[in-house]
Structure 1
Amino acid sequence: MDRKLELKKLKLLSKKRMLLEKEHAFLMKKFHVELKKIDKECNKIYCKLSDAEKDLICKKIPEEEKVLEIIKKELEFLDMVSHEQILELAKKQGLTSKKIIQSLDNLQNRGLLYRPRHGFYKTI
């Protein structure tokens, strides 16, 4: 009896997983169709985003560039740069602590920085 119940549970789980995978595939297809337009005559794909929207997605924010430059300059002399050093040096350049923290998070999300230890940063 236990084996039959186990098999039923596995079937239910596999059905739920299959439904989730189908839903995910549908959403991805919908997302790609909404962002791209296909010209059937030339078989070319055009992006529906305007140039301004592309610039917003792709451009670097000046605050991030400043923070990254500070880190790179400090890494010439040190192995790792502490969070406090970055805050201190960036505030001297006129950045607020909120913008500095946001810039550090964005740089980490983009893969340009990482934390080898808590409170310290390194570039890749």
Structure 2
Amino acid sequence: MFVLDSIGFVNTGLPLIVLGVLAVLLPRLVVDGDTRSHGKVAAGIGVCAVILFAVGYAVSYVLTHTRGVHAMALGSSPELGSALWVHSRLSLMAAIVWAPILGLVWFGQAQGVEARRGQDLVARGR
């Protein structure tokens, strides 16, 4: 296995903080704040997860490239598929941080949907 560098603030802490902040803020931009549909919330959270995976992939690529290693030549062989797998794996490892945060944001969004549905029922007089 390829070891990039030891754990430090610039190559580990800062990217995880950025991904965590994005996991909190991104759903506010993607999911409609007035929706009454759990399906739309779930779809928005799914889009956010894909975006966060892509950002994690990009961060892995950039950090590897700035260390002087050609980012697409990593792995056991110089094939493109191997490099894609290495960066995908590193991006999925970062999901250990942002996935629980995104799950909590999803829970909060779902509570908002239920609150709006309840307000609608009260407004109709039921």
Same fold (TM over 0.5): no
What is the TM-score when the length of structure 2 is the normalising length? 0.26
TM-score by length of 1: 0.26
Bigger relative contact order (CA 8 A; separation at least 6) = 2
Which has the greater radius of gyration?
A: 1
Task: Report the structure, 1 or 2, having the larger strand content.
Answer: 1
